A and B are shown apart, each in its own frame.
Chain A
Amino acid sequence: MDGTGILKGLAVTFKRMLDTYIDDFKRGKKRYYTEEGIRYRQSAEVKGIFTVQYPEEKLPVPEEFRFVPFLVYDEGPNGERKDRCTACGICTKVCPAQCIWIKRATNPKTGRPVPRSEEFYIDIDMCMNCGLCAEYCPFDSIKMDHDYELATYDRHKDNILNKERLLKPASYYAQIRPLNYAREEEAKRQAEEAKRKAAEARAKRMAARKKTATPPKKKDNES
């Protein structure tokens, strides 16, 4: 109890403080307000000041980052929107907060349901950002967003998102989650390929059967 412990401890803080200045001198202007600087300050070898000057600087979010779901639509060649959602309701069933409401569209003539949503709401005050809806959507139609700056002035008006506000183009999705997007597109392409091949094979089989099917008929006729 002679105070050496405290002094040694203070040496640690002193070194930390020096590190800050040394690093500032060494890296100069590159350290702040540049992408490289932000990346360095988030890496495992960072020394000195660690914080990011939000909102002037923002941390890059990783691809898997998730915040509030959105709906994906495909863009047609003439800019028309094609919803991916089929109103199957799986997202409403997995949602732990039960904050997704879907009204399935019906055919006005027959009254039968059609695979399309008429209304789609997400109450983002209740949403717990768990990402289960995106994980289990079989049509890659609902995805988690990267936009976390959601402050509004009126939560009653602004925080129930309707379809208009939920829908975002597939190109946006591809931009925020390039790897996932590429993987899903690849899977889709393969599925289509397999389907096409199966169809071809079936057509071939059918053709072959026709060929082989005709001679026995003749035989039948003969006998």
Chain B
Amino acid sequence: MSEQVVATEQDLLLSRFPEVVKPDERKGYDGYIVDSKALLDFAKTLRDDLGYDYLSSVTGVDYLPEGKMEVVYHAYKTTGGAPLVFKVQVPREKPVVPSLVSIYPGADFQEREAWDLLGIKFEGHPNLKRILMWEGFHGHPLRKDWHEPYYEEEHKPYKSRWPEGKAFRAEDRNPFGKNVDYPAGFDPAKWTPDISDALIYEGLGRIEKPHDDLPTEQIIVNLGPQHPSTHGVFRMVVTLDGETIVDLEPVMGYLHRNHEKIGERNTWLMNMPFTDRLDYLSPMSNNFGYALAVEKLLGVKPPERAEYIRVIMAELTRIQNHIFAIGMFLNDMGAFFTPSLYAIEERELILDVFEAVAGSRMMVNYFRFGGVARDIPEDVMQKIHDLAFERLPRRIDELDRYLTNSEIVRARGEGVGVLTAEQAIAYSTAGPVLRASGVPYDVRRAEPYGIYDRFDFDVAVRYHGDVYDRYLIRMDEVRQSIRIIQQALKQIPEGPIMTGKPQYQHRVPPGESYGRVEGPKGELGFYVVSNGKGNPWRYHVRAPSFINLTALAEMAKGHKVADIVVILGSIDIVLGEVDR
């Protein structure tokens, strides 16, 4: 049946856009290639006529040998199902693509990211400036011909390490600045940025007097980057009218390390431990997403036991992430550490499990293509059992009694930071933020991966879209995760945990693949392109905390400055993933 739907969809698209829309016929690719002139109409048709109302991911790809830049879009229906992938190809010398922000506002940050890292210009974007790199940065680092300082070789493994290995440190080769590449005629001492902070403020501060009788002035306040409640090095430029937020602009990139460039230098397997460092609170889910993306290309399937282990680990990750998020959220509300230490206690026990199974509490590096690294020992299985059947349900109930009906939590949370369902979809928010706004969209149900179709669980949903609902939905999801683990523990079979022999070099067939999982923060996607070599040609992360921030300004407007901390806490960001 689904085939038929796809066929009619394809007919409709191809007949409505003759000449300008073609199926992507490269081997290993699918979706449509859209002419950049027709992109806006095409996107409008998708959204309004076909029901693809959710633009999940925007990815730029640099096809250096073909002299082309490509922008890949993944659109979904919020009622579930597979993505519709469409691409725009533009010449590399003059990459200009129409911006989709007017149709899908969620494309905002992602298009800025593609501009920043690949130099693809988005015409009609309301605010096209760098987002992850600083304003004075020279070049676009994800372009294939851009080389970083300390550049050694195009791909790992580097030849200098073996057999003629010579030990030196990277910093010893950098006699203070000689390794930094400035453009000709550039003197960093004399440089002033094109877009200075003053300009950012000016652009934000629409200086008009809101009250006729009061001689007030709007002021701009920087929250962060060094601020304990921004959960890391995150900055919000807030325009205030008295205590009310008039406008807000998130500024990020302080923790940027160009994860994707590193990923393209790495071999396929080497990226696995790097994914741990994205959202370092939920490493198992990151591993899961990347493993899925590459397994799709490789065409391998993990054995039964490994599938169950993956689910158990991913759900334990969700539990510890949500409990921790709730605890820290209460910190943001002003509860000084008692709730968060209660939360950390449970998280600690789950991290003990990770440590015993994977070898590390946070940087687990546990998944492999076609399985997992090692089996769960018997005593650890017992501990997971104790946690899932005894301790965690009890502790969640206790947390519930402690917080849910507290008048302070309700007064601070109810009606604050409201995001309607339409806005949540339009801004491409994902995970708890989306579901708290009344959209029951969960990748585990919408497009089941692994063996999630076997479990009986409810997609948690709440309808007010405020901060309090985002707190409640995390509670709900923890309960659902416990349910899934209980079922998985009952069903898990004996057997191997790896398909084929463990190998460190992978022959990945050419093509593209997009693996996505429902991470604790939302839809976590990995878009990888292989050209048949030992390294990914493109490795892109659809980072949920990054994209969820697109809606932050919308949520914050009109609230008091003290609420902004709570609103940010309710989105639950991790800067390792926001900045990548």
Contacts and interface: CB of A to CB of B under 8 A. Distances in A.
Nearest to A8: B401
Contact of A6 (B160, B348, B374, B408): B408
B359 A64 contact: yes
Interface stretch (B161-169, B248-256, B297-305, B424-432): B161-169
A162 B266 CA distance: 25
Contacts of A100: 161-162, 165
Given A8-B401, A50-B345, A132-B269, A102 B356 contact: no
B401 A12 contact: yes
Contacts of A113: 163
Interface in A27-51: 42, 44-45, 50
Contact of B355 (A1, A61, A129, A135): A61
A125 B166 CA distance: 16
Contacts of B502: 135-136
A142 B290 CA distance: 27
Given A9-B403, A12-B401, A66-B360, A92 B165 contact: yes
Nearest to A5: B405
A5 B407 CA distance: 6
Interface stretch (B77-85, B385-393, B569-577): B385-393
B407 A89 contact: no
B497 to A, nearest CB: 13
A105 B355 CA distance: 37
Contact of B401 (A9, A44, A63): A9
Given A44-B391, A65-B360, A121 B383 contact: no
Interface in A106-153: 113, 119-121, 123, 125-126, 128-132, 135-136, 144
Interface residues of B, number: 58
B356 A123 contact: no
A196 interface: no
Interface string B310-352: 0000000000000000000000000000100010010011001
Contact of A98 (B157, B391, B405): B157
A170 to B, nearest CB: 20
Contacts of A4: 405
A87 B410 CA distance: 63
A110 to B, nearest CB: 16
Residue of A4, A95, A98 contacting most chain B CB atoms (<10 Å): A98
A62 interface: yes
B401 A103 contact: no
Interface in A77-107: 87, 89-90, 92-96, 98, 100-104
A13 interface: yes
A125 B170 CA distance: 11
B157 A93 contact: yes
A5, A89, A113, A129 — most chain B CB neighbours (10 Å): A5
Nearest to B373: A135
B169 A123 contact: yes
A90 B504 contact: yes
Nearest to A4: B405
B192 interface: no
B269 A5 contact: no
Given A5-B406, A6-B406, A144 B504 contact: no
B162 A130 contact: no
A88 to B, nearest CB: 9
Interface string B389-429: 01100000010011101111111000000000000000000
Given A93-B504, A95-B157, A128 B363 contact: yes
A3 interface: yes
A144 B359 contact: yes
A6 to B, nearest CB: 5
Nearest to A2: B407
A64 B358 contact: yes
Contact of A44 (B266, B274, B383): B383
Contact of A65 (B167, B355, B390, B407): B355
Contacts of B348: 50
B31 interface: no
A96 B270 CA distance: 5
Contacts of A13: 338, 402
A152 to B, nearest CB: 15
Contacts of B409: 5
B151 interface: no
B186 interface: no
A176 interface: no
A94 B270 contact: yes
Nearest to A156: B169
A160 B383 CA distance: 38
B162 A64 contact: no
Contacts of B398: 12
Given A93-B157, A94-B269, A94-B270, A121 B165 contact: yes
A87 B163 contact: yes
Interface string B61-83: 00000000000000000000000
Contacts of B273: 96, 128, 130, 132
A104 B161 CA distance: 10
B402 A12 contact: yes
B357 interface: yes
Nearest to A179: B377
B158 interface: yes
Contact of A62 (B157, B355, B405): B355
B325 to A, nearest CB: 19
Contacts of A101: 160-162, 165-167
Contact of B166 (A103, A130, A132): A103
Interface string B158-199: 101111111101100000000000000000000000000000
A158 to B, nearest CB: 12
A146 B72 CA distance: 45
Nearest to A88: B162
A99 to B, nearest CB: 9
Contacts of B365: 130-132
A102 B355 contact: no
B165 A65 contact: no
Interface of B: 156-158, 160-167, 169-170, 266-267, 269-274, 338, 342, 345, 348-349, 352, 355-360, 363, 365, 373-374, 377, 380, 383, 386-387, 390-391, 398, 401-403, 405-411, 502, 504-505
13 contacts: A5-B406, A6-B407, A42-B349, A44-B349, A44-B390, A62-B359, A87-B162, A89-B161, A93-B504, A98-B158, A98-B161, A104-B164, A125-B169
**What are the 3 tightest A-B residue pairs by CB atom distance, in nearest-first order?**
A101-B165, A130-B273, A121-B167
